[in-house]
Amino acid sequence: VSPAKRTTTPTLEEVAAAAGVSRSTASRVVNGSHLVSESVRAAVSAAIEQLNYTPNRAARSLANRQTMAIALVVPEDTTRVFADPYFAAITQGISRVLAETDYVLTLHLGASEKTQRYLRTGNVDGALVVSHHSGDHGLADLGGTLPVVFGGRPIDSASVTSYYVDVDNAAAAGAGTRHLIESGRTRIATIAGPADMPAAIDRFRGWTAEIEGAGLDAARVTRGDFSMSSGVRAMRALLAAWPDIDAVFVASDLMALGALSVLREQGIRVPTDVAIVGFDDIAAAAEPDTQLTTVHQPSLEMGEEMTRRLLRLLRGEAIEHAHIMETTVVVRRTA
Interface contacts to a copy of itself, rule CB under 8 A: 9, 54, 56-59, 61-62, 67, 69, 72, 77, 79-80, 82-85, 88-89, 91-92, 95-96, 99, 104-110, 112, 114, 117-118, 121-123, 227-229, 232-233, 261, 264-265, 283-284, 287-290, 300
59 binds DNA (CB under 7 A): yes
**Helices vs. strands in the chain: H and E counts, helices first:** 12, 12
The 10 Å Cβ neighbour count of residue 99 is 9
Give the x-and-dash track for 279-318 against DNA (CB under 7 A): ----------------------------------------
Minimum distance between the CB of residue 39 and a copy of itself, rounded to whole angstroms? 27
Give how many residues touch DNA by CB under 7 A: 29
7 binds DNA (CB under 7 A): no
On the question of a cis peptide bond just before residue 271, with omega within 30 degrees of 0, the verdict is: yes
Minimum distance between the CB of residue 121 and a copy of itself, rounded to whole angstroms? 4
Alpha carbons 74 and 137: distance in angstroms, whole number: 11
Binds DNA (CB under 7 A): choice among 22, 50, 92, 266 = 22
Q: Taking each helix axis from N to C terminus, what angle separates 299-314 and 85-98, rounded to the nearest 10 degrees? A: 40
Q: What is the DSSP string of 188-243?
A: EEEEE--TT-HHHHHHHHHHHHHHHHTT-----EEE--SSHHHHHHHHHHHHHH-T
Alpha carbons 232 and 141: distance in angstroms, whole number: 38
Q: Which residues bind DNA (CB under 7 A)?
A: 8-9, 11-13, 21-25, 27-28, 30-31, 34-37, 39-40, 53-56, 59-60, 62-64
